[in-house]
Amino acid sequence: MKYSVKENIGLLDFLIKETGKKRNDIKNLLKYKNIYVNGNVETYYAYELKIGDSVDIDTTKQASLPFPIVYEDKDIIVINKPCGLLTEKTNHESQKTAYHIVKDYLAHKKEKIYLVHRLDQYTSGLLMFVKNQKLYDLLTQQWNEVVKVRGYVAVVEGKLTKPNGVIINYLTESKSQNVYITSKEKGKKAITHYKQIQTNRQYTMVNLRLDTGRKNQIRVHMSSLNHPIIGDEKYGAKTNPIHRLGLHAHELMFIHPLTHQEMRFVSHTPESFEKIFNKKNKRKR
């Protein structure tokens, strides 16, 4: 149902007045992102409405997803993908993917979905989809120009010799889908910036920024330093203290090619990463 705002008023008070619903019922609608103001999802109960604003209640929308929505508006949706969930379908799986789940979620609002980037199955964190063809085309054509920050947090084996640095080389993929370092003539350039966050006797947490987005880039680059990511047997890890790959996409910032606004999203470091360092004798840098 759509409502037109005829006075300056707080969102919660407006909805109670217009719908007759109880305060807690309204707060649940806000919590589960069923309220739209001028076409954008709004969850803040005290949002100040202005005369002429449009408020829409979507009662067909699913109450929740099996993972958090970090942000949603009429153009994009950003989720916090859990470790183990595929981004998109494979030859062996088409239903249990982030793409399929979000597609079903948006279908209730008759919205489309387009995939603009990917995360490895066992990498958790920020994953963005777009809702219209024009934005999809612009992002895919200008991805490296409009995306300013692709930030990850990883836990690697051992203590780094250098607490920060830049890894630059060339990567290619074998027929068995293993990514490895090769020559300039045979591979694609890959650049990763890393900085130590904290360390103990066995492990180091690092912040990583990508200049390029090659498949398995971070995993191969950290392994090339003889500090593979924990849980990454494919690239040489010997330990797995948290029973998952220790890699999380924690920051994404880009310039919206249609609105030219800076869009920045952050996902907190998983608790399981932090617990590794919540011990005596830890040393921060």
**Residues labelled catalytic:** 120
DSSP assignment, residue 258? T
Position of tokens 């952050």? 266
| Selection from 141, 112, 117 nearest residue 127 by Cα | 117
Comparing C-alpha atoms, which of 82, 63, 69, 75 is closest to residue 38?
Answer: 75
Residue written as token pair 């011990």 = 279
How far apart CA 105 and CA 107 sit, in angstroms, is: 6
Burial of 67 per CB tally in 10 Å (0-12, 13-18, 19+): middle
8 Å CB contact between 64 and 77: no
Report the alpha-carbon angle 82-247-124, nearest 5.
15
DSSP string, 159-188: --SSSEEEEEEEEEE-TTS-EEEE-TTTSE
b/e code 125-140 from CB counts within 10 Å (16+ = b): bbbbbbbbeebbebbe
CA diameter of the chain: 68
